[in-house]
Amino acid sequence: MDGRSAGAPIESRWLGRIPYRDAWELQKRLASVRADGAIPDQLLLLEHPAVLTLGRGADPSHILAGEETLAVRGIEVLRVERGGEVTYHGPGQLVAYPIVRLADRQLLLRPFVRALEAALAATCASFGVEAGRRDGHPGCWVDGDGPDPRKIGALGVRVERGTSYHGVALNVDVALADFELIDPCGMPGLVSTSVAAELGLVGEPPATARVAAAAAAFAPSFAAQLGATLRGPSPLDADPDAERRALEALLAPVAA
């Protein structure tokens, strides 16, 4: 299963809405066995209930809400291994975690990050929103080089034993008011936006179905950036519970 080929398949999994801690643990398990060459590359696609995460060197002062406010809203704060500052995850946001052994695809970290950013931009374009890179500011931006830059996608990865985990988050129809809890990416005054906001679609609550539609655009875009074939059902057709069981079955022989 080692498959040292730049064009080897990547297995895409739509997991629906899943608690951050559960996805975090799953990523670490998958990254460990992927580093051993025991499973193929994986792409986890999902959304989270509301949570704040701090990168390994992040400054907690960029969390603007007090502990009482966060507790009332049921929002946990977690420090994790990825790079970057504080990030908000919540309903209406596509999160993608690529578990990729970089050397097998002849990838260095910078081109891998560029591939993630390009896939975010392509996903936005599939909905009619123009977005792209902004030099010196990882992620995906609307009007990134213009007078009114707005962040639509965040990026923070970790590589251990040559294998990536953590990844990207794209604001599809997330509640943008929740970003007022933080200085997004440690940048006071940063304006966050979403696909829905850029299209003028406001007033509707976040919907997992719309996140699944974004996942269906992101997965093939990311695979194309890697020159990889994509395996797995479209997020529009996948059963998240079945996909989670499939991942556990994939890991079971390794655990044994």
**Helices and strands in the chain, H and E counts:** 6, 11
Contact 54, 86 (CB under 8 A): yes
What HEC string does 48-97 produce? CCCEEEECCCCCHHHECCCHHHHHHCCCEEEECCCCCCCEEECCCEEEEE
Q: Give first-to-last CA distance, the chain, whole Å.
A: 17
Active site residue 185: yes
Q: Which of 185, 196, 216, 226 is catalytic?
A: 185
Instruction: Provide the pairing of β-strand 230-231 with 163-171.
Output: unpaired
Q: Which two tokens stand for residue 92?
A: 């209406």
Task: Give me the sign of the Cα torsion angle 33, 113, 87, 93.
Answer: negative
Can you say whether residue 143 is alpha, beta or left, with left for phi > 0 and alpha for psi between -120 and 50 degrees?
left
Contact 151, 184 (CB under 8 A): yes
C-alpha 134/C-alpha 144 separation (Å) is 5
Contact 9, 231 (CB under 8 A): yes
Which are the catalytic amino acids? 185
